[in-house]
Structure 1
Amino acid sequence: MVTIEDLGILRDVRVDDGTVHVTITPTYAGCPAMDAIRADIEAALPGEPVVVHTVLAPAWSTDDITDAGRSRLAEAGIAPPGISTGSTNGRGLVALALSVRCPQCGSPDTRELSRFGSTACKALWVCNACAEPFDSFKAH
């Protein structure tokens, strides 16, 4: 199971005067999963007063995904994004990895089928080696 903590969506949890305050950040502004995530947080603490705060800044980045989250995504058949180096080569350009490894067989011989996958934050890819389709998180 991949958690919101694994994905870096969970920013803070604190208790203030008996109320649990949970702060989350969407992977994309307007992410349709936020209502479901909010409901799941509230359901996980039945009978407790819970306030879920949504913050947009700092913006979520695929760099916020934990190492455990990257492993769990791959185990679930979703290609985790590469980690940004933060290097701009002094010209304002960020190097990108064009190859996405197949989470099924590990092959880098893959191609993007559609920029739009099962959710707004993922793209649909296929492995040329094992022919399996898979989602890949869009790096941002």
Structure 2
Amino acid sequence: MSASKLLQISLIAFGIVFCLVYPLAIVWPSGWAWHDGPPATSQYFMMIVGVYATLGIFLIRAASDPIANRSLIDFTIWSSVVHALIMAVQSYSPGAHTGHMLGDVPALLLVAAVLGGLTYVADRSSYGTKS
């Protein structure tokens, strides 16, 4: 399977997961919610849900033509890296939810690594150069 096809599949898969943050927090709060109580009781969480659901929809749309949507993919890669680094630093502060930080940081870095690697290989193959 080509890197371009894998990139398209990855964009759809990550897009779906980003769209499902709220439902996942309802069925698996210890893995997806960053606060006690129902998901809708946290204004912070609802803001994150809105941002990630919007990003998820646009990632799914970007899968139809990843080259034309390169800036969105780059934003997703770099914002995931920045988010992961901030969360990693915050995980050392008193009272931090270390379990979530340890799970979320690798997950965000996985998104960045997969999309970054596949974008790099797809770009190189589209220009006729070998990796």
The verdict on a shared fold, with TM-score over 0.5 as the criterion, is no
Task: With the length of structure 1 as denominator, give the TM-score of the two structures.
Answer: 0.26
Q: Whose strand fraction is larger, Structure 1's or Structure 2's?
A: 1
TM-score (norm 2): 0.27
Structure with the higher fraction of residues in helix conformation = 2
Higher relative contact order (CA 8 A, sep 6+): 2
